[in-house]
């Protein structure tokens, strides 16, 4: 409630700042917005911005609806074909965006961006929403995936988190946790996407940028390249140590994060919303003290070409569906305004990608991740999004098959290559 009140007071203080960019005579229009982010700070920001926009534009309603992450991905294609399609939809960019553009359901924003709007955003964020030279999305958030850990459990197991630099170091730590009777890792295998982080990150650490980009272009052996086979084998090597919580294959993201927040596992590989999402998912709605929360970059692999500073994450944003009312575009422009995005930074809702906002970050982890992303020589969008909807679903399924022992690394790599070739 404190977060929501703080956002509300700050936005109300902006009275009069958006009238110049919103329709002057809009009436009886509903802007439908759909997203999968239930982080309380983010939801509060969305809702307060919408109410403020409505107050400045009588007759306009912004209807914000939430649909859980995996359900959102699975149902979005059908929703976009319906008469009640959302006007504003959440996007991770990548191959899924390419598929949507190809299907002709997303509005081209190039003209608006080139007319000055695009100058608000950091170039790498805008690039994530550029397809064949045209801009189709409005980025607002940068994320980084890494290992979150419980300091108290690290100490109990005798593990020094600053010493976990390589994959061998990491596997040794897993063994120490198990010896101390501590579950090393939480994992939401039921949602599948958290599992693919391991295969993707290991591929990045082994091969760097080049193998993935070559595979996307259909060059060489594609995803049957030794880089991806070895990464799959190392993912399976970890799973063979049985490091995850009981029932992890059926657990969703919220349940796995709740397990971590309740102090039942030492680490979780996840995006950077863990500090704010922990209380939501903890059994007591508090979780362990955030003073005891730490973060680690994914370790390097001996002899690998990837660097520890290479980051995986997403530049998330919103798309405008074809046929959306002009008020939807106006709301996107308002939402991406510097003042609203500085508010997002100040309240810790997320790391914004609008210029002139990141100095407003107060959260220690968000400051860390913003610096990491800015300094990264290689920033990789989530593999499942970059591969497109069909092949992206396949890599998630195969990742679960790997940790469940249902597929060999060679078979998983071959199946992924087949899915990519048939896109």
Q: What average pLDDT score do residues 32-57 get?
A: 93
The backbone region for 166, taken as left when phi is positive above 0, alpha when psi lies in -120 to 50, beta otherwise, is beta
φ and ψ at 267, to 5 degrees?
Answer: -145, 160
Confidence check: pLDDT of 227 > 50? yes
pLDDT: is 137 or 423 the higher one? 137
pLDDT digits (tens, 9 = 90+) for 308-366: 999 999 999 999 999 999 999 999 999 999 989 999 999 999 999 999 999 999 999 99
Quick one: pLDDT at residue 12?
39
pLDDT digits (tens, 9 = 90+) for 382-409: 999 999 989 999 999 999 999 999 999 9
Confidence check: pLDDT of 73 > 90? no
Residue 297 CA to residue 169 CA, distance in Å, equals 13
Q: What is the DSSP letter of 119?
A: G
Helical ranges in 57-191 per DSSP H: 69-80, 94-102, 110-114, 123-127, 151-157, 167-179
Q: Please report the domains of the chain, with CATH numbers, ordered by start residue.
A: 2-141+315-375 (3.40.190.10), 146-312+382-421 (3.40.190.10)
CA angle 385/99/416 to nearest 5° reads 50
Confidence check: pLDDT of 381 > 60? yes
Quick one: pLDDT at residue 23?
42
Residue 133 CA to residue 7 CA, distance in Å, equals 36
Confidence check: pLDDT of 410 > 70? yes
Q: How far is CA 23 from the centre of its chain?
A: 32
Confidence check: pLDDT of 85 > 80? yes
pLDDT digits (tens, 9 = 90+) for 178-197: 999 999 999 999 999 999 99
Quick one: pLDDT at residue 39?
86
Q: What average pLDDT score do residues 79-101 get?
A: 90
Quick one: pLDDT at residue 27?
56
Quick one: pLDDT at residue 356?
92
Residue 325 CA to residue 312 CA, distance in Å, equals 35
Confidence check: pLDDT of 6 > 80? no
Quick one: pLDDT at residue 18?
38
Residue 392 CA to residue 33 CA, distance in Å, equals 24
pTM over 0.85: yes
Q: Over the range 128-143, which residues count as b (16 or more CB within 10 Å of their CB) and which as e? A: bbbbeeebbbbbbbbb
Cβ atoms 275, 363 nearer than 8 A? yes
Give percent above pLDDT 90 in the chain. 83
Q: How far is CA 119 from the centre of its chain?
A: 23
Residue 102 token pair: 């190809």
SS3 7: helix
Cβ atoms 128, 322 nearer than 8 A? no
pLDDT: is 166 or 20 the higher one? 166
Residues 359-364: contacts with CB under 8 Å, at least 24 apart: 363/275
CA angle 177/144/393 to nearest 5° reads 90
Quick one: pLDDT at residue 8?
42
Confidence check: pLDDT of 98 > 60? yes
């Amino acid at each position: 409630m404190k977060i929501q009140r703080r956002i509300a007071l700050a936005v109300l203080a902006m009275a009069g700042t958006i009238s110049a960019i919103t329709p002057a005579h809009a009436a009886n229009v509903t802007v439908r917005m759909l997203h999968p982010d239930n982080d309380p700070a983010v939801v509060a920001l969305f809702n307060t911005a919408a109410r403020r926009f409505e107050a400045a534009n009588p007759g306009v309603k912004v209807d914000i609806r939430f649909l859980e992450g995996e359900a959102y991905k699975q149902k979005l294609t059908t929703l976009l074909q319906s008469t009640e399609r959302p006007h504003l939809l959440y996007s991770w960019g990548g191959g899924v965006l390419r598929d949507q553009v190809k299907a002709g359901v997303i509005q081209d924003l190039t003209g608006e961006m080139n007319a000055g709007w695009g100058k608000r955003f950091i170039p790498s964020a805008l690039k994530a929403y550029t397809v064949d030279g045209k801009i189709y999305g409005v980025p607002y958030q940068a994320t980084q995936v890494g290992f979150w850990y419980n300091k108290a459990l690290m100490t109990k197991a005798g593990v020094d988190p600053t010493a976990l630099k390589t994959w061998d170091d990491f596997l040794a730590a897993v063994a120490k946790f198990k010896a101390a009777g501590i579950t090393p890792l939480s994992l939401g295998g039921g949602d599948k996407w958290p599992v693919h982080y391991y295969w993707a990150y290991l591929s990045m650490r082994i091969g760097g940028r080049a193998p993935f980009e070559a595979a996307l272009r259909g060059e060489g052996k594609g995803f049957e390249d030794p880089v991806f086979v070895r990464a799959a084998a190392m993912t399976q090597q970890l799973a063979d140590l049985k490091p995850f919580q009981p029932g992890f294959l059926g657990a969703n993201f919220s349940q796995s994060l709740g397990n971590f927040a309740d102090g039942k596992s030492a680490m979780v590989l996840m995006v950077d919303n863990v500090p704010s999402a922990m209380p939501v998912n903890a059994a007591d709605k508090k979780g362990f003290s955030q003073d005891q929360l730490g973060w680690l970059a994914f370790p390097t692999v001996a002899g690998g070409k990837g660097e520890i500073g290479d980051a995986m994450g997403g530049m998330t944003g919103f798309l405008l569906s074809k046929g959306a009312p002009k008020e939807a575009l106006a709301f996107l422009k308002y939402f991406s305004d510097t003042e609203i995005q500085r508010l997002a930074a100040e309240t810790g809702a997320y790391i914004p990608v609008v210029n002139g906002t990141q100095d407003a970050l107060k959260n220690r982890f968000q400051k860390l991740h913003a610096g990491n992303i800015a300094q990264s020589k290689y920033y990789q969008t989530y593999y499942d999004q970059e591969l497109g909807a069909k092949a992206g679903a396949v890599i998630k399924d195969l990742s679960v098959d790997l940790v469940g022992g249902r597929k060999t690394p060679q078979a998983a790599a071959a199946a992924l290559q087949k899915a990519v070739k048939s896109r």
